[in-house]
């Protein structure tokens, strides 16, 4: 393939239906072969089952740090969504490119790949690393094995740019997330004798109500950080299951909840408080009726927030690339907190808008792709002359 455009590469990438529940290996193999065509070697980091992989590649000097360009290859499902175009086939209408992942975030990956022919030809003084991960959409899971390996290396990258869709606006922060499951185990009986049972749904409702009280406290003005929208840590319950029939006191109920935490707030404080409430206020009453009653909390996924200082080298480079130091934050999460936690300062900037992400008829504009192409050429200039 001879120096394809970002649009042409995006068309190829959209054709791979890399929903998180499925493999991404065909897409990764396409990228590996594409890079090899320009003399760039790739490393793969597979999951335990061998069904998915991260890809890491370096262009330029091998004996120093460098800048990581990071993107995730997985996309969210299209099931139940009312698409008017084929989600895994690129469509163009009125300057917009439609397809699942166009904004979140194969558009950025396409631009990075389109920049490769230029990058390999230029006299880079600072290397650029390409890091493409799996399973970001289900808890930033895949990138962790790749980061664990990078931390061991003598020349760890000095900066990471994550190309999540920000409309090419410079972003330095986002909230972290903790997802939890609560299982309530009660005791069943005929509903005519309800007081002799332990109603798991009713106790789950009390726990959910207490989560609401915690969320209300976190929303108080003294906890606000005006850089974020909403400007406070949030708690919400999103899934609940329980009960078999109306005339049976339910013995089981479970619900999933999440904490979206401002940087600096320990999200674990929320489930810890819920567990104390359960132990002190609910379990004694439940176990007085049935000693086998219990309330258990299990983590589902978690990733840290990101708060890169605006006076950092990473922020200064981002301002140079974007032509703006009007730094912002985003409400959605990224792998940025994990890179930052691995000692790689991280910023976020990419084409498209998350307003289109995860929705039917997701799109990115050609204007945004071209803007990202220009940003990456500006980065190439910096890598050749970082002074």
Question: Would residue 136 show up in a list of annotated catalytic residues for this protein?
Answer: yes
- Among 11, 104, 135, 136, the active-site one is 136
Question: Would residue 273 show up in a list of annotated catalytic residues for this protein?
Answer: no
Judge contact between 182 and 255, C-beta under 8 A: yes
Judge contact between 362 and 103, C-beta under 8 A: yes
Strands 128-133 and 67-72, sheet pairing:
parallel
Give me the DSSP letters along 196-215. GSB-HHHHHHHHHHHHHHHH
Judge contact between 148 and 332, C-beta under 8 A: no
Q: How far is CA 344 from CA 49, 155, 255, 357, in A?
A: 28, 11, 36, 26
Sign of CA dihedral 237, 21, 136, 118: negative
Query: Strands, E, within 195-280: which ranges?
Result: 234-242, 252-261
- Among 74, 135, 137, 361, the active-site one is 74
Strands 91-93 and 346-348, sheet pairing:
unpaired
Q: How far is CA 48 from CA 52, 167, 302, in A?
A: 9, 35, 19
Catalytic center residues:
74, 136
């Amino acid at each position: 393939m001879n120096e394809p455009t970002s649009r042409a590469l995006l068309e190829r990438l959209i054709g791979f239906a890399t929903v998180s529940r499925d493999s991404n290996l065909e897409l990764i193999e396409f990228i590996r072969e594409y890079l090899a065509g320009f003399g760039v070697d790739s490393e793969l980091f597979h999951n335990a089952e061998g069904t998915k992989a991260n890809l890491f590649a370096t262009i330029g000097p091998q004996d120093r740090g460098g800048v990581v360009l990071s993107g995730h290859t997985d996309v969210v499902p299209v099931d139940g969504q009312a698409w008017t175009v084929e989600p895994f086939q690129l469509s163009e209408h009125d300057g917009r490119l439609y397809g699942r992942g166009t904004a979140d975030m194969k558009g950025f990956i396409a631009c990075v790949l389109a920049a490769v022919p230029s990058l390999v030809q230029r006299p880079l003084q600072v290397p650029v690393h390409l890091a493409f991960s799996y399973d970001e959409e289900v808890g930033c899971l895949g990138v962790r094995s790749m980061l664990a390996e990078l931390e061991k290396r003598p020349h760890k990258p000095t900066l990471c740019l994550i190309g999540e869709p920000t409309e090419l606006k410079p972003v330095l922060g986002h909230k972290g997330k903790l997802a939890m499951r609560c299982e309530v185990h009660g005791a069943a009986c005929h509903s005519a004798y309800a007081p002799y049972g332990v109603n798991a749904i009713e106790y789950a409702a009390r726990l959910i109500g207490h989560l609401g009280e915690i969320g209300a406290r976190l929303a108080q003005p003294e906890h606000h950080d005006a850089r974020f929208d909403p400007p406070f840590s949030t708690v919400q319950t999103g899934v609940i299951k329980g009960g078999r029939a109306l005339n049976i006191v339910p013995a089981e109920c479970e619900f999933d909840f999440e904490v979206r935490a401002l940087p600096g707030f320990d999200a674990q404080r929320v489930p810890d408080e819920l567990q104390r409430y359960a132990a002190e206020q609910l379990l004694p009453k439940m176990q007085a009726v049935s000693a086998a009653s219990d309330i258990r909390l299990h983590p589902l996924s978690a990733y840290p927030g990101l708060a890169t200082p605006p006076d950092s080298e990473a922020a200064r480079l981002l301002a140079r690339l974007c032509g703006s130091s009007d730094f912002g934050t985003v409400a959605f999460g990224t792998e940025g907190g994990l890179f930052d936690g691995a000692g790689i300062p991280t910023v976020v900037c990419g084409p498209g808008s998350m307003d289109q992400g995860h929705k039917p008829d997701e799109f990115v504009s050609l204007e945004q792709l071209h803007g990202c192409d220009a940003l990456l050429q500006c980065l190439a200039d910096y890598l050749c002359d970082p002074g």
